Amino acid sequence: MTVLAQAAPATGITPGATSLLWLLPALPLAGFAVNLLLGRRLRALSGWIATLAVAASFAICVAALAELLSLDGPERGRVVLRGWAWFAGVSFDLRFDQLSATVAMVVTGVGTLIHLYSIGYMAREERRPTYFAWLNLFVASMLVLVLAQNFLVMFLGWEGVGLCSYLLIGFWFDRPDVPAAAKKAFVVNRIGDAGFVVAMLLIYAEFGSLDFTEVFGRAAGVGSATATAIALLLFLACAGKSAQIPLYVWLPDAMVGPTPVSALIHAATMVTAGVYLVARAQPLFEAAPAAATTVVLIGAATALLGALLAIGQDDTKRILAYSTISQLGYMFIGVGLGPVGAVAGIFHLVTHASFKAQLFLGAGSVMHANEDDTDITRFGGLRRAMPVTWATMGLAWLAIIGIPPLAGFWSKDQILAAAFEHGGAGVLAWAVGVLTAGLTAFYMSRMFFLTFHGRPRWPQGRHPHESPPLMTVPLVVLALLAAFGGLLGLSAERGALQRFLAPVLSAGAPPAGEPVVSEALLATLTVLISVLAVAWAWFLYGSGRVDWLALRERYAAARRVLVNKLYVDELYEFFTVTLGRALAAFLAVNVDQRAIDGGVNSVATGLLAGAERGRWVQSGLVRTYAVGVLGGAAVLVAVLVVGSIR
């Protein structure tokens, strides 16, 4: 570790908080080790140790950010902590620039709150130390991913978060469906990771290096075919990690994990790793406009699909999972637009982390009060029983549907404005985005009204109650962030976050011209649609004037398609499992048994038949053999005699 701490003089960074950067992943890693090795003795303390480790990471991150802000603008992008040389020109370097600082702040900040919440939420859990060990390992891996200065170190973190995701989804592995969901997440992510590996190989072949500074510095000079291949493969990895079409199917199933895990890993941080990667590798995507357009279109399609599927779900956590998929689609629209929208995409990542984590923790609080029930058809009228959860979730709800002045409004609006301004595929993405905003408002309101308003529908004998302060404090903090997070970037040009991120993300953006349609008009349109959707949801689910249970009977056919997730899982199962089995059966019979086994066996039977024919030669009679010897000698002599005559 001493090697790590030495900042190379070449960077010209004075030793300060940024030279302690290695502590960011190291502290949660230490927490992981302590909880794994001593967890059984510590028991009740394990949660506090884990929380402390992440909180200390957060403190160092804040200090490092303060130091970063004190540097000159151009110096900020160059804070690189040289680590030990790993192999073949790859060293364990950490980079702390505006982008990684922003995301690291989200990871450690939200991470701390969710650790704190977990202490309350998992209070009755026997295997708490294991849980907190995995949670700490996750934060460490995520920070390695975010702070990496080259692709290989990033991949290390990338795989680490994937592993922790698997372990935490499968935390209650003795419950039905849980092992399958964990395996599904792991396998689907593996498809994306294969893309990452191949992309790395291509990058190394093309640039001879995996270092971000070197690769991105020369990205503009790469042939467009190579750049497109690299960018698309990287995006495949992002689609796996960030649950985009066609690899989104694992995220809804991942909800069988503990709710704080869903909040931290499957909403706020890990699933945004793909967005971060696209933003980080922006020079590569700029060199490959086709790939960038693909990102925008896939993002738009995923946003719409996620929102549609969320309408058909009755499970709180699944609604939120599809909502996450949909919101990640927005982020990809943003970062896929390039310099125009990348900042907005990252801004949405930050605000989404606050309100979606809040919504998940709120849902966890509701589950906590309702015997771990997640079915919104059995809630209703919980507002009185859980006022804090109601109020805080209400703020996050308004934030996600983009009601000004809450955080979600600003970030979503900036993405949509950038898409509109970008033109071409961007306009299509804008139209889909506006439609999705309406759908988002509808399904989120449906969930909110069915949970907190209307008549109580929970079974006899259940007594919903407000959660303990350990859980409500993070709820309140996150709700405040969801409410006021927008202050970070009130304007696409002059917001604090935008000006901070601009040197990394929108260096090549053309100066904003006079917009064709005023931004305010676009924003008003989106908000209007959202408000109408909320009103419609209130009329259906909140007012009590419509019997929505009868309504779902009437449209059962349409509903079944949505409930069954458009049969995508079945389609995938057909193409992977059914066709895979058929192929395996075909290969087993035709290639293995017929060709390979047949070849080996026919060699053996051929030899046997030949031996059977030739066995008479071995008469066993010495004198017969003597004739053979004599014949041979005669031939030999004849050859010699004839040879000598010539």
Binding site for another protein (CB under 8 A): 615-623, 626-627, 630
CA separation for the pair 391, 384 (Å, rounded)? 11
Report which of 141, 174, 170 is spatially closest to residue 156, judged by C-alpha positions: 141
Centroid of chain to Cα 102: 17
Q: For residues 217 and 631, which CB has a smaller minimum distance to another protein in the complex?
A: 631
Q: For residues 513 and 620, which CB has a smaller minimum distance to another protein in the complex?
A: 620
CA separation for the pair 106, 109 (Å, rounded)? 5
Q: For residues 72 and 612, which CB has a smaller minimum distance to another protein in the complex?
A: 612
Assess whether the previous peptide bond of 28 is cis (omega < 30° from 0): no
Q: For residues 546 and 609, which CB has a smaller minimum distance to another protein in the complex?
A: 609
Residues 241 and 271 sit within 8 Å (Cβ to Cβ) = yes
Between the CA of residue 473 and those of 132, 305, 476, what are the distances in Å? 19, 34, 5
Q: For residues 595 and 611, which CB has a smaller minimum distance to another protein in the complex?
A: 611
Q: For residues 576 and 618, which CB has a smaller minimum distance to another protein in the complex?
A: 618
CB of 638 to another protein, least distance (A): 16
Which pairing describes strands 80-81 and 94-95: parallel, antiparallel, or unpaired? antiparallel
Centroid of chain to Cα 236: 11
Cβ neighbours around 59 below 10 Å, total: 15
CB of 611 to another protein, least distance (A): 8
CB of 615 to another protein, least distance (A): 4
Concatenating the DSSP letter of every residue in 83-112 gives --EEETTEE--EE--HHHHHHHHHHHHHHH
CB of 639 to another protein, least distance (A): 19
Say which residue the tokens 């024919």 belong to. Answer: 613
What one-letter code names the amino acid at 482? A
Say which residue the tokens 């970037």 belong to. Answer: 489
Centroid of chain to Cα 239: 8
What one-letter code names the amino acid at 331? M
Residues 63 and 17 sit within 8 Å (Cβ to Cβ) = yes
CA separation for the pair 148, 153 (Å, rounded)? 6
Q: For residues 600 and 629, which CB has a smaller minimum distance to another protein in the complex?
A: 629
CB of 643 to another protein, least distance (A): 20
Q: For residues 626 and 635, which CB has a smaller minimum distance to another protein in the complex?
A: 626
Q: For residues 1 and 621, which CB has a smaller minimum distance to another protein in the complex?
A: 621
Report which of 234, 215, 210 is spatially closest to residue 91, judged by C-alpha positions: 210
Residues 175 and 169 sit within 8 Å (Cβ to Cβ) = no
Torsion of CA 179, 182, 185, 187, to 10 degrees: -60
* DSSP type of residue 242: T
What one-letter code names the amino acid at 31? G
CB of 635 to another protein, least distance (A): 15
CB of 600 to another protein, least distance (A): 25
CB of 194 to another protein, least distance (A): 58
CB of 201 to another protein, least distance (A): 59
Contacts of 565 (CB under 8 A, 6+ apart): 252, 309, 312
Q: For residues 10 and 621, which CB has a smaller minimum distance to another protein in the complex?
A: 621
Q: For residues 469 and 628, which CB has a smaller minimum distance to another protein in the complex?
A: 628
CB of 612 to another protein, least distance (A): 10
CB of 590 to another protein, least distance (A): 38
CB of 603 to another protein, least distance (A): 21
CB of 646 to another protein, least distance (A): 23
Q: For residues 621 and 645, which CB has a smaller minimum distance to another protein in the complex?
A: 621
Kindly tell me the burial class for residue 566, based on how many C-beta atoms sit within 10 Å of its own C-beta (0-12, 13-18, 19 or more): middle
Between the CA of residue 352 and those of 329, 345, 357, 360, 451, what are the distances in Å? 12, 10, 8, 12, 21
Q: For residues 551 and 638, which CB has a smaller minimum distance to another protein in the complex?
A: 638
Look at phi and psi of residue 423 and say left if phi exceeds 0, alpha if psi is from -120 to 50, else beta.
Answer: left
- Beta bridge pairs of residue 85: 91
Assess whether the previous peptide bond of 246 is cis (omega < 30° from 0): yes
